[in-house]
Structure 1
């Protein structure tokens, strides 16, 4: 069976890529204009803009809802930044924090068979766990879905330490298990390009600045600063700020300053195929891949979700009670 799905907060389509073998995307939504350009280049359609202006009744009926909703209101870095600026975070962040409720109103209207939501690991602990309680209460008790969640690390599939929370829900009380992610994955050197332009090598000035910054914080006992990658292991988490100086993932080079990853390498680090078109500036590309999902992780989750739907294996009453008691 082919499934109809919608792609909300679509970014550059990482979640869509993982689900395309199971069906057809019939609606997409993404407000960032540069991300829309990349999406159009790869999927032949331009997503609708601001989800807050979308009438849920006008969204086509679909089987599966996909949404990597904005994580800055809940991420550790995002919360710290908002605190320092005296701004609200979480649900009190009026621009991004309330976007979960747009997902909820679409689910309420359209009753898809299943959904997959993705966010930062910190969503579970944000506001002492209250944010996540609100989300789960809405999904389970108000909307009537059977909900599963897990924090999975992509480093067994791509050479990057990337922990994200995935929330899966079914309209029926279906049995579901998240995939097992291998503990050991490919080494960082496996995604590096052979010939890289000199422009990716850090200037003497920037390299001196990053070393001084790290030394200053090391004296205070802080772990802030650049990360020189181990090519035989995995990298730190690629973030949307990578375009600024590339400091969290620097590739060592013999006889010269380290370099930042190229956009193609960032795409590979997230598990995008080499056929994926990068049509925007390097700055925009770094932001887009930093905000994206690790595609191979979502591909495994998609497979498990489709298996659960097609096997139609329902939870027994006792199992449902057990899930509720365990707070799963």
Structure 2
């Protein structure tokens, strides 16, 4: 089987790369501007991602079969000349995805974003994104998926956008549906994890200042998935946070091991940065099992069966 090549844009700590990597793949380029994320990425993949993608000419990006990107979303301006959808995306980070796709014309791509992308600017931003991808020659599919349906104990809805180059004639694409079995968080609690405690003062004066059932507290009886892990988790927010009834003060933040569990990262994934950076990095990451299942479906769509019943990637 031929190896397929992929590039990893807005790579973060490499969650999408983990999901796409197998014995028949090769990541030929990665880009991530944040130096702390670069540090984690390098510790796990043995290479430091290139920096700011906006400064990298598209002709310097290697040829590849699949582009993957968890691009940040910025509002699109309605000001200026309407010279096609590609023009409308200028000044946004999506434009950098678009210019690379247009120049390199890979067979396929996977883009990931928050579900708010569907409603920002009353849906105009997503319409521009979708039409811009169609305009440069791709058939586009999208769906909102929740990580809780893919075997990890976290509610985390994200939109996934898959595209195939028109000449491949991929006229249908089925996103994975996961399953209805919900993993409970109590199976993954690391009892006695040290160094994550929340002070009694913070608990009394902030977290439990109101008797409104917040924040979410988990313990051995918690047979449900946790809330979405956000990048600002280290700020100990009572409305969005999930905390563990454990530790030196009776309440603590999620441990590194628990963060890996709810994001679907392997236990041996290396975290060489501070705790604050760790939470920010996992909060900005993808749920690896979701992307892995999408990757499997994409690979099926990009394969042809040859005479000896082996599968060969369309190049």
Give the whole-Å Cα distance in 2 for the aligned partners of 1:168 and 1:214: 44
In the TM superposition, what whole-angstrom CA distance separates every residue of 1:35-55 from its partner, at most 9, and x where no partner exists?
000000000000011111000
Report how far residue 69 of structure 1 moved. 0.5
Give the whole-Å Cα distance in 2 for the aligned partners of 1:125 and 1:191: 34
**Partner residue of 1:23 out of 22, 25, 36:** 25
Unaligned stretches of 5+ residues in structure 1: 74-89, 313-328
In the TM superposition, what whole-angstrom CA distance separates every residue of 1:250-300 from its partner, at most 9, and x where no partner exists?
112499532110122112210000010111111111100010000000000
Match of 1:228 in 2: 217
Give the whole-Å Cα distance in 1 for the aligned partners of 2:101 and 2:155: 32
CA contact (8 A) 1:246 1:260 kept: no
Q: Does 1:105 align with 2:96?
A: no
Give the whole-Å Cα distance in 2 for the aligned partners of 1:246 and 1:263: 18
Give the whole-Å Cα distance in 1 for the aligned partners of 2:205 and 2:67: 45
3-state SS of paired residue (2:267): coil
Q: Does 1:137 align with 2:131?
A: yes
- Does the C-alpha gap of structure 1 residues 195 and 204 become closer, same or farther in structure 2, counting only changes over 3 Å? closer
Give the whole-Å Cα distance in 2 for the aligned partners of 1:254 and 1:210: 18
Report how far residue 202 of structure 1 moved. 1.3
Report how far residue 231 of structure 1 moved. 2.4
Q: Does 1:193 align with 2:194?
A: no
Matches within 5 A, 1:39-58: 39-58=41-60
CA contact (8 A) 1:145 1:173 kept: no
**Partner residue of 1:300 out of 276, 284, 293:** 293
Report how far residue 169 of structure 1 moved. 0.2
**Partner residue of 1:288 out of 272, 281, 290:** 281
In the TM superposition, what whole-angstrom CA distance separates every residue of 1:139-190 from its partner, at most 9, and x where no partner exists?
01x2110100000000122100000000000002312100011122221122
Give the whole-Å Cα distance in 2 for the aligned partners of 1:8 and 1:123: 18
- Does the C-alpha gap of structure 1 residues 11 and 97 become closer, same or farther in structure 2, counting only changes over 3 Å? farther
- Does the C-alpha gap of structure 1 residues 119 and 293 become closer, same or farther in structure 2, counting only changes over 3 Å? same
Report how far residue 132 of structure 1 moved. 0.4
Give the whole-Å Cα distance in 1 for the aligned partners of 2:208 and 2:222: 24
**C-alpha RMSD of the superposition:** 2.0
**Counting helix residues as a fraction of each chain, which structure ranks higher?**
1
**Partner residue of 2:117 out of 116, 123, 133:** 123
Q: Does 1:180 align with 2:169?
A: no
- TM-score, length-normalised on structure 1? 0.82
Instruction: Count residues with an aligned counterpart.
Output: 283
- Does the C-alpha gap of structure 1 residues 299 and 257 become closer, same or farther in structure 2, counting only changes over 3 Å? same
